[in-house]
Structure 1
């Protein structure tokens, strides 16, 4: 037995590994020389001592844990551990027995140092790599990720190590990514592009390389390297979109587009080219551009030569020839096509058919000349002002009419021309204000002054001038000299007065002769003592009153001018007159019905004269309904500028012949009438700038319509401040 132990000790002394044995109380029972050397202790100082007392630092290290594990489980245990007090790495093999523990160990510090350097290099490569580096197990779960991976997808390392790659891949790429991963687990390196999902929901384009992890000849996982190509992909997408836009621009453009090489051969045309010129792409691709007319060949060659130098020609208006031989006007732009080195390799052209525009321009030129001729040769004087009120044009008739030359008035302001009398300056400003508001002035009779100071009666019309956008650009004024016409009107009026005077004289003679004859006869009878003088006096008095009535109405007719114009509520005026005549209507079994507008209606009028007119029409209507009936008086607006008053009775009506005679002096349909009432009423309405219309039918009644201008507050109260 002693020989066996001795042989065993001799063997243990010769091995290079350190060896020691421990009993169940963790006391050293044997230590070989290699162990003493490695532990820097004498063998005699260790045998019989407790290992944890001699090496208390080991209690907190892997040695303590592994030794106890081997004893507890009665199984050998191999491990590597670092012992700080000696600054050494040991590879340890512990073999348990019922009597204790046998431990073999060797110094692996050099190997560990070398491995540590390799690990550091790998770590540096892993962590400092500009691309994302990671590893998966065979189920696709992350085993490791570098910082770039965290930044690239927005997840922390701890989050990624609890995930598989599946949730991070875009759904449309998931099946393809799974297929590539499967092939990597089968030992085939894979390279592909995939869209990954960032934690914030954005898409990250990746260029991925997957390769198998092999340990001891067995695939245990997959390494991956991912490069962020989002910017490159965006550039490619933008390039693709730009290309698509350009292709869409070319093919869907309403203008004709073509591309030729430096030899003038057609490389490409778009659909609009085919439509505009009648050539199909198949018929001209590879051939010389056929749309240049022969008479323009030399000119176009010069233009092409210029473009070949790298210069674009923009807005060239020229002529092109269609397949059917017809010529069209076009506006063309020719540009050089350059390669990546900047060399011109072709020419692109784009043109628009402007034939219609050219024809329109030609038509506009003709019309402009016609308009210029119309203005220049017009017998009326014409002035054209810009929006600032300065003269930009005048015609010969104006020069002749007023004596100023064009040079004298060109650029002069309206109020500096000197042909506006001071007393009508307010009227001119009112006209200017209306025109600036877009309104028209038609046939206004006014006065202007010649250069020599002579006043001229004119008819004035003015109209706004607008630009193409509809904005006021100025206005025109047309002036017609009516001096001679005014003189002829005076002569005509005098002649008319003489004629009317003759008619009146004949009518007066006839109307007054009858009552005078009656008076003379009764005077004769009274002189000779015949009859009842009292009865004669009554008849004579009645006849005198008739003569007095005729003379009174003649005086009104002789002076129909408006004495006093006031703003009057015309409906209130009518109400007052109806109240006045209501009793007379009731006595004649006539019902007066009114239908007035709800709002107040005002006109400028002489109230007394207007009452005279309305009383005349109402009394005529009452007298026309000798058997009673209804008289309707109603008001309504027309065109927002005029008021219509209707008197509608249910009398016997009048024939057309009778209506045509109304207004003639002393023509009447009543036994006691003078025939002057309607004539005077019409004259009053005329002097109020109104109109009278009569509609009548025998046995169905008569309607008299009186139309009067309403008060236009804006027009009548335009001031210089409101104009400016």
Structure 2
């Protein structure tokens, strides 16, 4: 069915070099989605891959237009790009967009729109559709995962910092800013020993590198002279750097309190602490609890006095007994996490610390128990863990390369698929620079550095295509899409890079462009042969006649000379098209240039009732262009308009600003051009004038295109013709 519909759509093209049946089979059996749309937006054909993606048979899709199944948030941009494609401003366009399936669910796709022409006239648009729904959802999930992780770090009620392998700050939570009295923007990227030089050579410095060299977690306490705080520090080293937790264990001013004052301070701390605190005797009977303890577990002191284990599940009793025995031997227990229960039977997660209390002889006579509700933290950690599991499953099983790099270009994560493309162990990539010659060839580094710098400075996603020399000597084309990840303050902390091998796609695109060039060259050759053969036939006929009769009449020679001039004119125009003159840009007075072109063309028509009216906006003084070339365009358009009006009517020329462009409009009162012919205007060797070659407008379009502008023609029979030029204002 699809093959038949394509044959009917391209009936005139059956004589082309590639059989139509072959194109139809490729269209129908491709694993990539394709569909064709008419210029009105109505679907003309859809292959099975696209029908499967949307969930509708072709018969249903052919009743729809593209607006019916394009997501409303993407429709406006899609239509805008389509208008640029139809105007000839762009040869094709590719965009990420969503199509709405039969069930109403949107599917992310990368769609490439290409204009299909019949004899250089736009007839259909072909759309190639690649399903990237999984990739986009991966990006969204990854961004959400990173944000959740940041939220967890910010919710930790302790000062927390991250340092890289060079001991440079990469992250501080809000508690760290407060405790260390440093703002994030002042220390991020700075070495800890430069920020706190007094720590060098001290206990902190020694414990830090001991933990780092042994790759083991460590903890210690020290007094910070600069901050005047007693701090407890916990160190957690990894291959990427060091995680450091700080806790204030008491200000320096406490040493100045006398006995009575210190006791009052401790009593106030006990009563008003945000943590649940209880004191037990050596037989583990509850001696005292604070209000927070009662609120957290729902039990009163009287209920817990004889049985403090009411808050503990029976399955945890043996482990709790072991912990108390350790504390009794003088070893405190810090931040032991366990499940606990309230009086109403509900569960909660707590972090418990048990410390010994000594008498004057050094004997343990009682215990202090501190509990903190960490239920919310546990839920956040579990949500993060589940997110990480899902993220790992996706990234470790996708054929695309997923890379996380920090703002300095250092790789913090690389998916297993890197081993296929780069032929390098993934474990060796983490911690390396993206621009390291051991990761990618030098030629790729030269291309990627400015791309990465642009993305870092603009803060916008970016796409780059780079040739890549594999280790086996083959050259591949890779496409990398980068997207920045920001923290809560809007600062870029990571980049997500999605890379894929598009060699086959690039080769297909190159073949398509080459085929288009050959088709254009073939059409041009046929036109040249036809146009030259006509005058040559005349010359040959007169030559044979004069050779036979011996009669050399003057009128014969005049006709022959006219045909020679015609051939010469056509060759000159072809040379002008094929070998454009050297462009010399400068400032051109627009009003003067239009007047010059109008006066030059109108001299022979003024006596016959033709009037040219020029109006240039006052704010348009000059234009940056090649003056000689633009005057040639103006002259060609004016000459055509005057000839079309046949000596009667007005030609109006206006020039105004249109955003960043200058709009120049030529509107005549000629007979107009039928719609079925207007599409051919601008094609080589097609002209509405007797004896015209059809190359003048083609050359004009090329000149305007070289100036990064556009030329549009609007016309209706009996309503005249309007030519609109759009040129950059600067």
Range into which the TM-score falls when normalised by the shorter chain: 0.3 to 0.5
Which is higher, the Rg of structure 1 or of structure 2? 1
Higher relative contact order (CA 8 A, sep 6+): 2
> How high is the TM-score relative to the length of structure 1?
0.47
> How high is the TM-score relative to the length of structure 2?
0.47
